[in-house]
Amino acid sequence: MLEQIESGFGAQARSGGALPVGGAADSTGTMGKSAASGFALRRLSLASLGVIASGLVLAMGIAAGLYLFSAAVAAAGLAGVLLLVADGIRAADSDGRSAEARRDGDWDRQETSALLATIHDALGDIAITRGMDGKIVHANAAFHRACGLDDARGLTCAAIGLSFEPKIEPNHYLVRTAAPEGLRLYDWHDVIARDPASGRLMRHSIARDVTEEARAAREREDARRRAEEASQAKSRLLATVSHEIRTPLSGILGMSHLLGQTRLSSEQKNYLAGMQQSGHALVQLVEDLIDFSSLSAGRFQFRPSRQDPRSVIESVVEMLSNRAHEKGIEIGATVTADVPALMEFDAARLRQVLFNVIGNAVKFTEVGGVFVSADIVEDCVRILIDDTGPGMSGDELKRIFDEFEQAGSDEQRAKGTGLGLAISRRIMQACGGSLTASSAPGRGSRFEIRLPLAEVERVTADRRQRLARSHVLVMAPDGPASAALSATIATLGGRCHRATTLAAAQNVFSDVFAGGAPLTDIIVDHRHAGQFRQLLALQPAVARLDLRRTYLINPEERNNHPVDQMDGYEAWLIRPLREKSLVEVLLGRLKGIEKRDAINDNRPILREEPTIAPVRASPRGILLAEDDPVNALIVRTVLQRAGQAVQVVTDFVAVDRVLSGGGPGVEAMPALLVTDLNMPGGDGFSMLKRLREREAMQSDRRLPVIVLTSDARLEVKDRLIEAGADTVLPKPADPQRLMAEIGRLVELR
């Protein structure tokens, strides 16, 4: 019986010492287990004897009738047996604890690996373990699904068909595999670590499917490439269009420049000035297209300088006044005294924005007029453009600043491209300002431009009191012109009454005769000249007042009112008014023969012809390459008037013939080349390359080259300079700048 018990406990001990499934046998653990088992068996043998003895005592006691005694002895024996059993079990546990700790570590590692594999499966990520020989030891379900396998153990990645493309980082790859649904891409990472159980180096790999991300990235790249190609095509189109427009425009402006150097009457100078300003306005419209392209490409540039914002506003209003008067509407502008006379801003860009916004207001207004005002608000120059047009709906307000969007009737939309307001807003945003609009159907529209103040010149108190002694009555129809006139007088410290009817004018004079403040001036709009004559007839005392009379007239009406027939007026003014002219008249500085100067001062001012510094004439002369006969005539005339000998050619073939056929002597070559960029027989870039290569081979002296081009893009200029040009000037070439560059380059030789 004892042998049976030992055998049973031994079997139990042997069963309890078994390793988990999949674990490796440990010889040290086995030896410890055997020793512990032997010690426990010896203790359990003693316990077995105690159990048998207790049983015999209990049987004898029952047979003799000694129930209590035998039960007590048996219980004591059984308790001893149990103590021995417990002591044996504790001994076996203590001796086998180190082996169990190792088994627990193995279980933990296996459970962690199983947990990670489950997580990667849930995420759809591949997780495999390979030996250093490349054979797969373990692979999760995601790997098997991706490769279409049931069991990948023992296989290599190459045998399965995986293609590895190394990336910059170590142990990082782009892996391609052929799946049933097509080619799949994986972002693959390897980590090499030693297996704690076996001590072998193993390669653990984690990979994520990036097929869709790669497809999206490829589509984005294709879209970006297409956008770049479209942008380049647009830039080429704009360059071509601007060149084709600038060529005849250069002729117009160039000829007007030459005409301005001839003897002209004052009236002819005014007509010529209007033509020049219209030409420059057309140049600005061409620049709109180029600016739109530059803004889209982020290459827009500002060139701020110290300018007077008042003169910019007034000049734009003057340029657009003819359009307004042709439609029978008024236009006027006023600038408050607190707007500085000089501030830092890009005058050309502000003029461009104003031309677009005010031009739109004139275009859409059929009755009433356009009123432009400027003041200072929140450290900004605020320019308001109010019109009495049809107004806009909320939907139209949302669209007017979008490219190629227009409001109004079909006839009005046909007069523009829908780019002006979009470009204007982007220009103002780029310089830190803003352009906004508000409107309602039937109530007109208001556009608000805000230009940040920068590098301003302080406004003196004298400006606010310049007309402090002036008390003026203006007889004119109610509208922007009289409103601007009255506001200008008030902001400069004067007092002004507006009389839109004969009765209102009579009331003003009645107050004066009743002891009110005396009037110093009366300004009569030509449309109210009849009312003024009636006023003199009804109140003869008005004629006896010491009152300066000024006649206000449209420029289009000037021919109907000869200046030498003053009709009792001491000065004439042209509307829309310039502040300077108004001040000069109200201060009495323009009277008598100078009345004509008041008119001329109010018209577009003909630019003073700059004094061109003399340039030393070279005996070899200048070679001019220009295929357009008008532009060739303009540049040749400018050069000849400066004392230069000029030879004109009309294509690049002739340029090469002149530059290469002069023989070895340097004296036969021209002193300088002025050339167009685009002519028959090639292009300017290739011509410059051939010229510089020939000079290098023949050790010739470098020939200065000035390129004239209608393509004003910065990248074109950079390419020309890199190709060998010394100076690049935009068309139409400014005569003073052209001669200055010629003088500089000739002196360098």
The string of pLDDT tens digits covering residues 494-519 is 999 999 999 999 999 999 888 888 99
Do 400 and 477 lie in one domain? The reply is: no
One-letter-per-residue 3-state SS of 535-596: HHHHCCHHHHCCCEEEEEECHHHHHHCCCCCCCCCCEEEECCCCHHHHHHHHCCCCCHHHHH
Q: Is the peptide bond before 610 cis (omega within 30 degrees of 0)?
A: no
Q: What is the pLDDT of residues 280-309, one digit of tens each?
A: 767 766 766 666 666 665 556 677 888 889
Is 692 in a helix, a strand, or coil? helix
202 and 320 together in one domain: no
Domain assignment of residue 567, given as a range:
463-602
Contacts of residue 329, Cβ cutoff 8 Å, sequence gap at least 6: 362, 365, 366, 367, 368, 369, 370, 388
Tell me the three-class secondary structure of 277-339, residue by residue.
Answer: HHHHHHHHHHHHHHHHHHHHHCCCCCCCEEECHHHHHHHHHHHHHHHHHHCCCEEEEEECCCC
For residues 467 and 598, state if they share a domain. yes
CA 247 to each of CA 283, 453, 626, 648: distance values in angstroms, whole numbers, following the listed order: 11, 38, 11, 17
481 and 451 in one domain? Answer: no
Task: Give pTM, 2 decimals.
Answer: 0.52
Q: Which amino acid is at 37?
A: S
88/191 same-domain check:
no
Please state whether beta strands 445-452 and 380-387 pair in parallel, antiparallel, or not at all (unpaired).
antiparallel
Measured distance CA(289)–CA(710) in Å, rounded: 13
Residues 321 and 455 in one domain: yes
Q: Is residue 225 part of a domain?
A: no
Q: Is the pLDDT of residue 232 over 80?
A: no
**658 CB neighbour count, 10 Å cutoff:** 17
In a domain, 216, yes or no: no
Is 550 found in the same domain as 570? Answer: yes
* Furthest-apart CA atoms within the chain: distance in Å: 168
Burial class (CB in 10 A: 0-12, 13-18, 19+), 722: exposed
Higher pLDDT, 711 or 351: 351
Domain end marker among 109, 138, 158: 109
CATH label of the domain that carries residue 381: 3.30.565.10
pLDDT digits (tens, 9 = 90+) for 675-731: 998 888 888 899 999 999 888 888 778 899 999 987 767 778 888 999 999 999 888
Structure tokens at 304: 């701020």
Sequence-distant (6+) residues with CB within 8 A of 489 are 467, 470, 472, 495, 496, 582, 586
**286 within some domain:** no
| Domain total in the chain | 5
Kindly state whether residues 454 and 313 are assigned to the same domain: yes
Residue 608 lies in a domain: no
| Percentages of the chain per state (helix, strand, coil), in multiples of 5 | 55, 20, 30
Please determine, for residue 76, whether its predicted confidence score (pLDDT) is greater than 50: no
Picking from 47, 74, 109, the residue at the C-terminal end of a domain is 109
Of residues 289 and 151, more confidently modeled: 151
Final residue belonging to a domain, choices 408, 429, 459? 459
- The set of residues, in sequence order, having a beta carbon less than 8 Å from that of 399 and lying 6+ positions away, is 405, 407
Main-chain dihedrals φ then ψ at residue 170, nearest 5 degrees? -65, 145
Is the residue at 372 inside a domain? yes
Among 47, 46, 80, 77, which Cα is nearest to 59's?
Answer: 77
Same domain, 583 and 649: no
What sign results for the dihedral spanned by CA atoms 551, 557, 560, 563? positive
Q: How confident is the model at residue 317 (pLDDT cuts 50, 70, 90)?
A: very high
**Using CA atoms, how far apart are residues 601 and 577, in angstroms rounded to an integer?**
10
In a domain, 114, yes or no: no
503 and 586 part of one domain: yes
pLDDT tens digits, residue range 110-147? 565 566 666 777 777 889 999 999 999 989 888 888 88
Residue 664 inside a domain? The answer is yes
Quickly tell me which residue has 């620049």 as its tokens.
Answer: 287
Cis-peptide, bond into residue 732, ω within 30° of zero: yes
| CA terminus-to-terminus distance, the chain | 129
Closest CA to 282 of 359, 347, 346: 359
Q: Are 287 and 300 in contact (CB under 8 A)?
A: no
Query: Are both 431 and 306 inside the same structural domain?
Result: yes
pLDDT surpasses 80 at 441:
yes
Flag whether 119 is in a domain.
no
CATH number of the domain at 644, please.
Answer: 3.40.50.2300
Residue type (1 letter), 406? Q
| Sign of the torsion formed by the C-alpha atoms of 228, 230, 234 and 239 | positive
Residue 701 token pair: 């002296």
419 and 309 fall within a common domain:
yes
Q: What is the DSSP letter of 627?
A: S
Alpha helices in 587-683 (DSSP H): 595-602, 629-641, 652-660
In percent, how much of the chain has pLDDT > 90?
25
CATH number of the domain where residue 165 is located = 3.30.450.20
